[in-house]
Amino acid sequence: MANHTGEKHGMKHPAGAKRPGRGGHGGHGAGMMPGEKAKDFKKTMRVLLGYLAPYKIRLAIVCIFAILSTAFAIISPAVLGKATDKVVEGLMGAGGVDFEALLSILAVLLGMYILSLLFGAMQGWIMADVSQKVIYTLRDKMSVKLDLLPLKYFDSKTHGEIQSRMINDVETVNQTLSNSLAQTISSAATVIGTLVMMLSINVMMTVLALVVIPLSMLVIKLVVSKSQKHFSNQQKYLGAVNGHVEEMYTGHDIIKAFNREAESEKVFHEYNEKLCESAWKSQFISGIMQPAAVLIGNLSYVAVCLLGGFLAIHGRVSIGDIQAFIQYVRNFNQPIAQLANIVNQLQSTAAAAERIFELLDEAEEDGIDETPAAQMKIADVQGQVEFAHVSFGYHPAELVINDFSFTAKPGQRVAIVGPTGAGKTTIVKLMMRFYELSGGQILVDGCDIKKLSRKNLRDMFSMVLQDTWLYNGTVRENIRYGNRAASDAEVEAAAKAAHIDHFIKTHPKGYDMEINEEATNISQGQKQLLTIARAFLADAPILILDEATSSVDTRTESLIQKAMANLMKGRTSFIIAHRLSTIKDADHILVMDHGDIIEQGSHESLLAQGGFYEKLYNSQFAGQQ
Residues 421-447 have pLDDT tens digits of: 777 888 888 888 888 888 899 999 888
Maximum average pLDDT range among 180-189, 199-208, 281-290, 342-351: 199-208
User: Does some domain include residue 238?
Assistant: yes
Gap between the Cα atoms of 6 and 464, Å rounded: 6
Q: State pLDDT tens for residues 204-230.
A: 888 888 877 777 777 767 776 776 677
More confidently predicted of 379 and 446: 446
Instruction: Kindly indicate the confidence band of residue 621, based on its pLDDT and cuts at 50, 70 and 90.
Output: low
Q: Domain count of the chain?
A: 1
Rounded mean pLDDT, 522-535:
83
> What is the identity of the amino acid at 74?
I
User: Does some domain include residue 326?
Assistant: no
Q: What is the structure's pLDDT at 21?
A: 37
Residue 615 has pLDDT above 60, yes or no: yes
Q: State pLDDT tens for residues 465-492.
A: 777 788 888 999 989 988 888 899 999 9
- Give 109-114 contacts, CB < 8 A, sequence gap 24+: 109/76, 109/79, 109/80, 109/83, 112/72, 112/73, 112/75, 112/76, 112/79, 113/72, 113/76
Q: State pLDDT tens for residues 229-254.
A: 776 677 677 767 877 887 777 777 77
User: Does some domain include residue 150?
Assistant: no
Alpha-carbon torsion angle 343, 348, 349, 354, nearest 10: 130
Give the full edge-to-edge strand order of the sheet including 413-417: 461-464, 542-546, 572-576, 413-417, 588-593, 596-601
Rounded mean pLDDT, 398-411:
86
Instruction: Kindly indicate the confidence band of residue 13, based on its pLDDT and cuts at 50, 70 and 90.
Output: very low
Helix (H) / strand (E) element for 386: namely strand 385-392
Gap between the Cα atoms of 181 and 63, Å rounded: 9
Residue 44 has pLDDT above 50, yes or no: yes
Q: What is the structure's pLDDT at 25?
A: 37
Do 339 and 123 contact (CB within 8 A), yes or no? Answer: no
How far from each other are the two terminal CA atoms of the chain, in whole angstroms?
44
Q: What is the structure's pLDDT at 35?
A: 45
User: Does some domain include residue 266?
Assistant: yes
User: Does some domain include residue 135?
Assistant: no
Gap between the Cα atoms of 590 and 584, Å rounded: 12
Q: Kindly provide the b/e burial profile for residues 520-536, where b requires at least 16 CB atoms within 10 angstroms of the residue's own CB.
A: eebeebbbbbbbbbbbb
Residue 594 has pLDDT above 50, yes or no: yes
User: Does some domain include residue 232?
Assistant: yes
Gap between the Cα atoms of 398 and 396, Å rounded: 6
Rounded mean pLDDT, 290-319:
79
Residue 543 has pLDDT above 60, yes or no: yes
Residue 376 has pLDDT above 70, yes or no: no
Q: What is the structure's pLDDT at 138?
A: 92
% pLDDT > 90, the chain: 6
The domain in which residue 297 lies consists of 203-316
Of 192, 220, 207, the C-alpha closest to 337 is 220
Bridge partners, 597 (sequence order) = 592
% pLDDT > 70, the chain: 83
User: Does some domain include residue 295?
Assistant: yes
> What is the identity of the amino acid at 582?
T
Q: State pLDDT tens for residues 132-175.
A: 999 999 999 998 888 888 877 887 776 767 877 888 788 888 88
User: Does some domain include residue 270?
Assistant: yes
Q: What is the structure's pLDDT at 140?
A: 92
Do 205 and 325 contact (CB within 8 A), yes or no? Answer: yes
Gap between the Cα atoms of 9 and 409, Å rounded: 28
Q: What is the structure's pLDDT at 386?
A: 92
Residue 26 has pLDDT above 60, yes or no: no
More confidently predicted of 198 and 368: 198
| pTM across the whole model | 0.65
Rounded mean pLDDT, 287-298:
72
Bridge partners, 441 (sequence order) = 388
Of 391, 525, 528, the C-alpha closest to 469 is 528
Distances (CA, A) of 159 to 53, 147, 470, 561, 585: 32, 14, 17, 34, 39
Of 118, 226, 131, the C-alpha closest to 174 is 131
Q: State pLDDT tens for residues 554-580.
A: 776 776 677 677 677 778 989 887 777
